Amino acid sequence: MIDIHSHILPAIDDGSRNLEMTLKMLEESYKQGITDIAATPHFYISKDNTESFLKKRNNAYDAVCKETAGRNDLPNIYLGAEVYFFNGISHYDGLEELCINNSRYMLLEMPFNKWSNKVLAEIENIIFDRKIIPIIAHIERYIDFQNGTDNINNLFSLEVIIQANASYINYMFSRRKAIKWIDNNIIQILGSDAHNMDSRAPNLGKAYDIIRKKLGESAVSRINDFGKEILNI
Ligand SMILES: [Fe+2]
């Protein structure tokens, strides 16, 4: 099974603190049935540019590869980024290189406030001018901010991919809505968004189990097939 959103690379963002934690997160993911995982460290334009980010990310990845060489009991890792929205993002030169595994799919973290029309216009420009398909990270975390607006529906009407975190399905109180949105194919892809081994540990296996139980194997297959398309595997 596929995990399209994680912070498993060591010492690059607020995710895994070191190689040891990375190994534990990978082992736990694999135990839960995750075979392929996108490493998507945070990218903030206020702190970084693409060149320096890629250098840090690739170094962290190389260290993990060295440590795990010869092991076949861990998920395959694919490189990407979780790009935080910024004004002018649709004109930013380094965007293509931040896509997942050299695809045209880019994990995009939206602002945690009420979006202006300008924000949605930038998303449209990313799609039409740059031919990049945004994967909207953890949709569930923006909904309350958009109360009283049509922003969520307007976002859904664009050619974006909607990602939810496993916790949205795992939490009893949000499960019903999450399952409904998966059933309606509004939520198309899932991620653990795992950051560590305690407060935000790998938890996607449980979410896939719930989906299997509520919607059947076909729903799990649909999500995974789409994950494979994004990762180009
Ligand atoms: Fe994240």
Q: Ligand 1: distance of its center to the CA of 112 in Å?
A: 13
Q: What percent of the chain has pLDDT over 90?
A: 100
156 band by pLDDT with thresholds 50, 70 and 90: very high
pLDDT per residue as tens digits for the range 160-218: 999 999 999 999 999 999 999 999 999 999 999 999 999 999 999 999 999 999 999 99
- Cα–Cα nearest to 38, from 13, 3, 83, 84: 3
Angle at 197 between CA 195 and CA 202, to 5 degrees: 65
Q: Ligand 1: distance of its center to the CA of 219 in Å?
A: 23
Find the CATH number of the domain harbouring 51: 3.20.20.140
Per the structure block, which two tokens stand in for 126?
Answer: 């990313």
Which pLDDT belongs to residue 162? 98
- Cα–Cα nearest to 217, from 227, 209, 229, 205: 209
Q: Ligand 1: distance of its center to the CA of 153 in Å?
A: 22
For residues 41-65, give the mean pLDDT: 97
Q: Ligand 1: distance of its center to the CA of 147 in Å?
A: 23
pTM above 0.75, yes or no: yes
Q: Ligand 1: distance of its center to the CA of 119 in Å?
A: 20
| H/E element, 62 | helix 50-68
What is the pLDDT of the chain when averaged over all its residues?
97
Q: How many whole angstroms separate alpha carbon 44 and alpha carbon 229?
A: 26
Q: Ligand 1: distance of its center to the CA of 43 in Å?
A: 10
Per the structure block, which two tokens stand in for 131?
Answer: 């031919």
Q: Ligand 1: distance of its center to the CA of 137 in Å?
A: 7
- Structural domain count of the chain: 1
Q: Ligand 1: distance of its center to the CA of 15 in Å?
A: 9
Q: How many whole angstroms separate alpha carbon 107 and alpha carbon 20?
A: 26
For residues 147-168, give the mean pLDDT: 97
Q: How many whole angstroms separate alpha carbon 3 and alpha carbon 36?
A: 6
Q: How many whole angstroms separate alpha carbon 201 and alpha carbon 190?
A: 15
Q: Ligand 1: distance of its center to the CA of 72 in Å?
A: 26
25 band by pLDDT with thresholds 50, 70 and 90: very high
Q: List the domain range (segments joined by +) for residue 92.
A: 2-231
Mutual angle of helices 204-215 and 172-183, in 10-degree steps? 60
pLDDT per residue as tens digits for the range 74-105: 999 999 999 999 999 999 999 999 999 999 99
Q: How many whole angstroms separate alpha carbon 140 and alpha carbon 162?
A: 10
Q: Ligand 1: distance of its center to the CA of 7 in Å?
A: 6
Residues lying with their CB under 5 A of ligand 1, a single-atom ion? 82, 193
pLDDT per residue as tens digits for the range 32-47: 999 999 999 999 999 9
